[in-house]
Chain A
Amino acid sequence: MSVSTVKEVTKGFWEKNPVLVLALGLCPSLAVTTSVRNALGMGVSTIFVLTLSNVIIALIKGIVPSQIRIPCYIIVIATLVTIVDLVLAAYFPDISKAIGLFIKLIVVNCIILGRAEAFAAKNTAWRSLLDGIGMGIGFMIALVLIAAVREVLGANKLFGFTVFPGWRPIAVMVLAPGAFLTLGFLLGAKNLRMRT
């Protein structure tokens, strides 16, 4: 693998992280990050959808008229999301119960449509595959970071295990305000690191 191949994957991890730098997909980042388990479920689902949608869209980009490309992309994405939704409901019912609504909303997740428009529609299927994997992993990294902070502070747990015995957690951190606070501080920390 050449350097640029590796770069195509790893750029999404940190320096072009979809949540922390591109500020895409903020709705799921705020909504499903109440626990690390949910964040991982959402992250894996998004990696699957994003990678395959990138590849398929890169393959069909030559035959889709540009006027109706967005509906075509949405059909591809919606098909993939339906697969994920049904698989989760069949094999991981508890995760499906907790974040099922947001799995369906992956259809309109702006990371996926954004990468389709900005990358897959202009690049080869191979490079789109790499981009999809990288961006998906970057999204999952951001989700797990947010979820870890919120789960430890708001529920005193990590993967369901108690972290500090005897401490009463700050319940507000697993509610919506905690999500905004955590995301704000992560964005701030990221900007601080980029500046120096």
Chain B
Amino acid sequence: MARLLHVSSSPHLRTSDSIPKIMWTVVIALLPLCVFAVWLFGWYAALLIAICVATAVLTEGLMQKLRKQKLTLYDGSAVVMGILVACNLPPGISWWIPIIGTFVGMAIAKHCYGGLGYNIFNPALIARAFLLAAYPKDMTTWISPVDATTCATPLGILKERGPGELLSAYGGKLSLYKHLFIGNIPGCLGETSALLILAGGVFLLLRGIITWHIPLSYLATLALLTFLSGGDPIIALLAGGVMLGAWFMATDLVTSPFTRRGQVVFGIGCGLLTFLIRRFSGYPEGTSYAILLMNAATPLIDRYFPNRIYGTR
């Protein structure tokens, strides 16, 4: 009888989406990248990914214990964060450095701000930014996937020695595009293969986890600005971390705007900042800083592009 009288307030239609479902879908989308990283850079890459995931999960558990919250280690958000931190690491980095970064990202960037759903900045990118400031040399030493010697990334060559050198280093334009697209190039663990990132991104699109607005406006803005300034838009899109950033980092549900129009503004801002950092700063790549800066602007964007109230113009 009590069951019959139970009246609940709206909404009465519920989606089957839940945090675990979303997060584990993202994990599936990231798995090909991890496998490719291990194939490209060897078993040490697997160790790095495992260290990041373990640190993320343990830190989340520790913080939730300290904050006397329910443990939500199975919802997968810590696993996603750990994998994303690993994807942002150079393959030859000492094993203990990612522990510091992941801990800072999880404990400070996520839990000090209130945990899942309250963080202003993407925790995985904070981990990267912190490590970049703490261990700048380790975070910018790249190893070649061919012979495991240290070398420069394509964007590094472009910044230091110009486009001509880059083309000759990879034996012509088409060969360079192919390398960048397939991903057998030096770079962070998860950023090298544009093909696999696109596959993961499209998978997330089809499952309805992300929408096309942020990645497309981000990549289109960057390509257009690069083209207008006389650069090669295809290299700009395929090289560096912008693919990974646009599909997996900028689309983070917590730190990006709610509405479609806001998301387009967010994406354009990311593209503009990435272009500015790559072109005019001392860094060869600016994806992570661009997304972090736009994370900070997200509350403002949400304010200026709110949801239209049903029935109003």
Contacts and interface: CB of A to CB of B under 8 A. Distances in A.
Interface of A: 168, 170-173, 175, 177, 181
Interface residues of B, number: 7
B170 interface: no
B134 A173 contact: yes
A69 B220 CA distance: 61
A168 B133 CA distance: 13
A171 B108 contact: no
A172 B108 contact: no
Dominant secondary structure at the B interface: helix
A171 B100 contact: no
A168 B130 CA distance: 15
Nearest to A171: B134
B222 to A, nearest CB: 27
B306 interface: no
Contacts, number: 15
Contacts of A181: 108
Interface in B116-152: 130, 133-136
Of all A-B residue pairs in the complex, the 10 with the closest CB atoms, nearest first, are A172-B133, A172-B134, A170-B134, A171-B134, A170-B100, A172-B130, A177-B133, A175-B133, A171-B135, A181-B108
A176 to B, nearest CB: 10
Contacts of A170: 100, 134-135
The listed residue with most A CB atoms (<10 A of its CB), out of B100, B130, B133, B134, is B134
Contacts of A171: 133-136
Contacts of B130: 172
Nearest to A168: B135
Interface string B194-230: 0000000000000000000000000000000000000
A168 B138 CA distance: 11
Contacts of B136: 171
B125 to A, nearest CB: 14
